[in-house]
Amino acid sequence: MARMMRDRLFGKYAMEATITVAEQVTPTMRRIRLETDRPVAFPFTPGQHVRIQLKDPLSVSGILRPGETLRTYTIWDLDAARQAIELRVHLYSGDGIGLRWARAARPGERVTFWWPQGDFFTRDADFHVFIGDETASAAFGPMIRALTGASGVFGVLESETPEHDLPMPGQARLRRVHRRGAPATSSPVLLAAVAELDLPGNAGAAYVAGEAMTCRLVRDFLVRERNWPRTSIKVKPFWTPGKRGLH
């Protein structure tokens, strides 16, 4: 029965792939490329994520501890032939199973991924504002890339130092700021940069991602100080100290 259920679920929602590239792109960001044996048939909207299967969810340990079977990674790119996806995985401090997988991933290894999830993607708007830290960059890149050239793109990205900046698509007018040892939790550096943003009003769409408390403070600032409608701000907390598997 378990095998039949697994086969049904696998055929409908999951695919197998081979890791063909696993390399550093910044001191704390890895590029991992997964190539499939057949075209990916699942729908995809830039900003969504896949779940990498680290343990069989229908095994005894998977049933007893379902939170320790899958980990989530935003899709950086889906190639034109739909037979490869690329991830940008931020290697923040910690020892969770998802971090261990990302650090140890090597070309030639087979993986199973579950496709796709998430509602953190762009919507129609006069302009778009992206605000977040290193963990947000992996989602912002494909979201910005998918926007038309006529869409105004603004915002601010924070990282520890310039060496940690993940390149963004060329049309994005994003300010870069750096903590240089300041806290990433409730980040004063990012909040100060947001307060200085010169935006064309409050009729756009804002996307805020990264550390949970910082996301909340940024959203509250936009609502209270810039008169943004709360419904125009999408928030995606990717991490918070001491909590695994937040996103």
* pLDDT at residue 169 is higher than 50: yes
What would be the CATH architecture of the domain defined by 2-117?
Beta Barrel (2.40)
115 in Cβ contact with 188 (< 8 Å) = no
Residue burial 141-154, b: 16+ Cβ < 10 Å; e: rest? bbbbeebeeebbbb
Beta strand spans in 118-200 (E) = 127-132, 152-159, 173-178
Per-residue confidence band for 7, with pLDDT thresholds at 50, 70 and 90: very low
As a whole number, mean pLDDT of residues 7-36 equals: 87
Class of the 127-239 domain?
alpha beta
Strands 84-90 and 110-117: unpaired
Per-residue confidence band for 205, with pLDDT thresholds at 50, 70 and 90: very high
Q: What is the pTM of this model?
A: 0.88
Q: Where are the domains of the chain?
A: 2-117, 127-239
Q: What is the mean pLDDT of the chain?
A: 88
Higher pLDDT: 6 or 235? It is: 235
Nearest to 53 by CA among 95, 113, 10, 104: 113
pLDDT at site 180: 96
As a whole number, mean pLDDT of residues 2-24 equals: 73
* pLDDT at residue 150 is higher than 50: yes
Q: Residue 146, by phi and psi: left (phi above 0), alpha (psi -120 to 50) or beta?
A: alpha
pLDDT at site 224: 97
Nearest to 158 by CA among 215, 82, 224: 215
Q: Which residue has the tokens 């708007």?
A: 125
Higher pLDDT: 94 or 219? It is: 219
Summarised one tens digit per residue, pLDDT across range 114-148 is 887 889 999 999 999 999 999 999 999 999 999 87
